[in-house]
Amino acid sequence: MPLGPVAVCETGAVARGDGQLNHDLIPGEKGPQDACGVFGVWAPGEEVAKLTYFGLYALQHRGQESAGIATGDGEKILVYKDMGLVSQVFDETALSSLRGHLAIGHTRYSTTGGSTWENAQPTLGGTQHGTLALAHNGNLVNTGELRTLVDDHFGDNRVTGELARGNTSDTALVTTLLSADPDKTPEQAALELLPKLRGAFSFVFMDEHTLYAARDPWGVRPLALGRLERGWVVASETAALQTIGAAVIREIEPGELIAIDENGLRSHKFAEPQPKGCVFEYVYLARPDAVIRGRVVHEARVEMGRVLAREHAVDADLVIGVPESGVPAAVGYSQESGIPFGQGFVKNAYVGRTFIQPSQTLRQLGIRLKLNPLEHTIRGKRLVVVDDSIVRGNTQRAQIRMLREAGAAEVHVRISSPPVQWPCFYGIDFATRAELVATGLGVEEIRASIGADSLGYISEEGMIGATDQPADQLCSACFTGRYPIDLPEDGRIGKHLLETLPLTVRTGHDRSVDVDGVTVGVGTGGANALQHP
């Protein structure tokens, strides 16, 4: 299959980062992470690469492992991507080399396929008509089926492109399938393929001329459409549209594919909408200034705090929030309870990426790269500490220890989401069930485990009510275990699925066993989460 004209810019001899963030309160202890942020712009006469850069900057919270931009000028597609934050990957020289009238961009947190340069996006595919570049937010649950489709299509002919270069993401499979039929345009191929995909996807993709965007029928991950004076923009969150001065028009509808080119915008409905938006976007993932289905995320979080105060009242002197996502809920708790709100933690405003691993001695000394307690505010006070979620409990345990060492008289923890008991297969990288503290412990046991004087979680009804969305149009599987999109019965699911199955499609030899014939399985991530106790 011929690959269209492509120039891939890399960073030469400069050492790449490893995509690992080491700035947390407890090094290596990460909270729930979203899959990615996507951005696309069609705007002749504008500096589309720079618009995309600033759009990705606004979406940096959705993924910090890698970043990439592809531009098209009507004749070729240029791609520049690398491991690291947006500000680390791109500079003026790189952006000035990315010329054209349309662009897509991506900032990644891995949920299918490991955190490697090969899996960075946008991904590329070649067609008879030219080149295709694609960026994806979300996670597919029928990845095994899609790989079978690739096998069936190519047969004994080894595939080229991203899969041949070692990409092990579900995104690479979609890119390959969109490029597989030389007689179909990307638009025709998408209308045929998209109904076959199961799971969460918000796609932006492009050829040399046209920008496309598509959202899964369940609308799990957000995707919004904006208007520039001389073009159109799509982005994972409305805040990214506003950052570059675009007017917010509407959300891309669940089950909708749009195409934007010199003839304007056209829309196709490839599936009936079955809305199941992710409730965790309101709790934690989205920026506070984002608007999802008409609800400002900040307002939803403040309301969650008010509900928490009604459901779990306590006598205390001060309400503090854990920066950043816990602060709006703490404000709401204070408003409803009448207990004053104050700043109890100082967050390092310049914390970014460090590749320096703390020694065990430094860990034992309590290295605090992210948060530090504000001692003069909390000494002698009975505190209500509001946070968005508890995953493993290690972070809360460290926070409470810090507060007590700083002189807090009492620490009452309030959480603006119910206990997280199930993994997400739709684009959030939670721990496995075995690692989730709420899987095996009740609320009182969790309280004792983290060392709080009391612990209260918001009810599922209270959380959903704060979003102003109908309960039957939200996905809350991570709290309930009720998955709205059926998972594969054969259990072929998980972050490293394509790295643990035979990869003859990609490499021409079986990499599922080592040299001694021992199976090479990767037991991390959500691969076997449902089988854990």
How many separate domains does the chain show?
A: 2
User: Is 36 in the active site?
Assistant: yes
Of residues 428, 527, 439, 434, the one with CA closest to residue 481: 439
Residue numbers of the domain that contains 204 = 37-276
Three-state SS at 307: helix
Last residue of a domain, one of 422, 446, 472: 472
Look at residue 361 in the predicted model and tell me its pLDDT. Answer: 64
265 occurs within a structural domain: yes
Q: What is the CATH number of the domain that holds 217?
A: 3.60.20.10
Please indicate, yes or no, whether residues 94 and 186 belong to a single structural domain of this protein: yes
- The dihedrals phi and psi of 366, each to the nearest 5 degrees, come to 80, 45
Q: Helix 326-337 to helix 297-311 angle, to the nearest 10 degrees?
A: 50
316 occurs within a structural domain: yes
Look at residue 4 in the predicted model and tell me its pLDDT. Answer: 38
Please indicate, yes or no, whether residues 230 and 329 belong to a single structural domain of this protein: no
pLDDT per residue, tens digit, the chain (533 aa), is 333 333 333 333 333 333 333 334 444 444 444 558 999 999 999 999 999 999 999 999 898 888 999 999 999 999 999 888 899 999 999 999 999 999 999 997 655 445 566 777 898 888 777 899 999 999 999 988 988 888 888 776 666 677 777 777 788 889 889 988 888 999 999 999 999 999 999 999 999 999 999 999 999 999 999 999 999 999 999 999 999 999 999 999 999 999 999 999 999 999 999 999 999 999 999 999 999 999 999 999 999 999 999 999 999 999 999 998 899 999 999 999 999 999 999 987 665 545 455 666 665 555 567 788 999 999 999 999 999 999 888 889 989 999 999 999 999 999 999 999 999 899 887 667 888 899 989 999 999 999 999 999 999 999 999 999 999 999 999 999 999 999 987 655 554 444 444 333 333 333 332 222 222 222 323 333 333 22
Please indicate, yes or no, whether residues 272 and 323 belong to a single structural domain of this protein: no
Angstrom distance (rounded) from CA 523 to CA 331: 40
Q: Output the known binding site for [4Fe-4S] cluster.
A: 278, 424, 475, 478
Please indicate, yes or no, whether residues 257 and 361 belong to a single structural domain of this protein: no
Please indicate, yes or no, whether residues 131 and 256 belong to a single structural domain of this protein: yes
Which of 25, 35, 36, 403 is labelled catalytic?
A: 36
pTM above 0.85, yes or no: no
Q: What is the CATH number of the domain that holds 443?
A: 3.40.50.2020
138 occurs within a structural domain: yes
Eight-state DSSP code of residue 159 = P
Please indicate, yes or no, whether residues 316 and 248 belong to a single structural domain of this protein: no
27 occurs within a structural domain: no
Please indicate, yes or no, whether residues 270 and 332 belong to a single structural domain of this protein: no
Look at residue 65 in the predicted model and tell me its pLDDT. Answer: 84
Please indicate, yes or no, whether residues 305 and 176 belong to a single structural domain of this protein: no
Look at residue 176 in the predicted model and tell me its pLDDT. Answer: 86
Q: Output the known binding site for Mg(2+).
A: 325, 387-388
Q: Output the known binding site.
A: 278, 325, 387-388, 424, 475, 478
Please indicate, yes or no, whether residues 270 and 149 belong to a single structural domain of this protein: yes
Please indicate, yes or no, whether residues 208 and 254 belong to a single structural domain of this protein: yes
Cα 367 vs. chain centroid, distance in angstroms? 27
Distances (CA, A) of 42 to 96, 103, 231, 246: 17, 7, 5, 12
Please indicate, yes or no, whether residues 178 and 322 belong to a single structural domain of this protein: no
Please indicate, yes or no, whether residues 328 and 460 belong to a single structural domain of this protein: yes
227 occurs within a structural domain: yes
Last residue of a domain, one of 244, 276, 308: 276
